[in-house]
A and B are shown apart, each in its own frame.
Chain A
Amino acid sequence: MSRFLFTFGFFWIIWIGLTSTFNPQEVIAGAVVSLIIASFSYKTFTDYGLKFLTPKKIYYIVKYLIVFLIALVKANFDVARRVVDPKLPINPGIVEYTTQLTDNAAKVILADSITLTPGTLTVDIIGDKLYIHWIDVVSKDPAVIYREIGENFENVLKEIFQ
């Protein structure tokens, strides 16, 4: 039931956002369509449902978004700086990163976030190992890799997915 409600709410919010109106006709039509789609797609759409709707988790989700947006802007400036530098200061390589997260969805979010943050691109995930193309390999030491690439994200993600 909670999974169904989550799917329904998600679709309905997107519908209202895309039509950008609170005209009753649109809102009701959106509710009906969301209801129909959610009734047969909720099983594949989410495994978690409304589990995240507790104040603590919402706080950490917002915190995650802020951490993520700051990293995103930093990443863009970092890449821009490397691109315009005449010397092209890069030292690329693929490193192995061991995550402490166990949940599949958490791992996917971590991998996506790593891809969008400074100088790193996730090539593959196998078990708890992430293979990451790093445009400026500063160290081959696993502890340094962990700290430089994903520690900020992992600390917040652990709170959300526990």
Chain B
Amino acid sequence: MVLEIIGYIFVTVGVLFLFLGALGIFRMPDVFSRLQAGTKATTLGGLGTIIGIGFLQPEWFWKLLIIAVFIAISNPISSHALARGSYKKGLRPYMKEGGIDAYAAVQEAEEEKE
């Protein structure tokens, strides 16, 4: 009974964060900020949901824990690949006045080499 309550709390928090992640993708101005919302909120969303189910179905707990670890490992790698790919494709980050883009210099140097 206690396990069930803990499980439902985890699932609720997870679903809430998944919703906020989706809202963030909708509200943010450019691809990099969207990646921030999309990857961060969904990490805790996914982990929360999975761990919560682990509490509801104790016999699955270790299986779900391994899945959670794989999510935590693969999530930053995929978001890094997406960010780097979109920058190389020519998308530039949205910046307010006086913003800084230290990567632009590296990118220009690389393009000149080619």
Do the beta carbons of A124 and B84 come within 8 Å of each other?
yes
For residue B1, CB closer than 8 A to chain A, the reply is no
Report how many residues on chain A are interfacial, defined by Cβ distance under 8 Å: 38
Do the beta carbons of B66 and A18 come within 8 Å of each other?
yes
Report how many residues on chain B are interfacial, defined by Cβ distance under 8 Å: 47
For residue B12, CB closer than 8 A to chain A, the reply is no
A14, A75, A137: which contacts B100 (Cβ < 8 A)? A137
Of the candidate stretches A26-34, A49-57, A90-98, the one touching chain B is A90-98
Q: How near does chain A come to B88, taking the closest CB pair, in angstroms?
A: 9
Q: How near does chain B come to A149, taking the closest CB pair, in angstroms?
A: 13
Q: How near does chain A come to B63, taking the closest CB pair, in angstroms?
A: 6
For residue A140, CB closer than 8 A to chain B, the reply is yes
- Assuming the A-B contacts A79-B37, A83-B23, are A91 and B84 also in contact, with contact meaning beta carbons closer than 8 angstroms in the complex? no
Binding site for A on B (CB under 8 A): 17, 20-21, 23-24, 27-30, 32-33, 35-37, 39-41, 43-44, 59-63, 65-66, 72-73, 75-77, 79-80, 83-84, 87, 93-96, 99-104, 106
A88 to B23 CA separation, bound complex (whole angstroms): 12
Do the beta carbons of A112 and B101 come within 8 Å of each other?
no
DSSP class of A's interface residues: helix, strand, loop or mixed?
Answer: mixed
Q: How near does chain A come to B20, taking the closest CB pair, in angstroms?
A: 5
B41, B60, B73: which contacts A79 (Cβ < 8 A)? B41
Shortest Cβ-Cβ A-B pairs, 5 listed: A115-B76, A96-B102, A76-B44, A83-B24, A112-B76
Binding site for B on A (CB under 8 A): 14, 16-18, 20, 72-73, 75-76, 79-80, 82-84, 88, 90-96, 111-113, 115-116, 119, 121-124, 126, 131, 133, 135, 137, 140
- Assuming the A-B contacts A14-B66, A79-B41, A111-B80, are A131 and B106 also in contact, with contact meaning beta carbons closer than 8 angstroms in the complex? yes
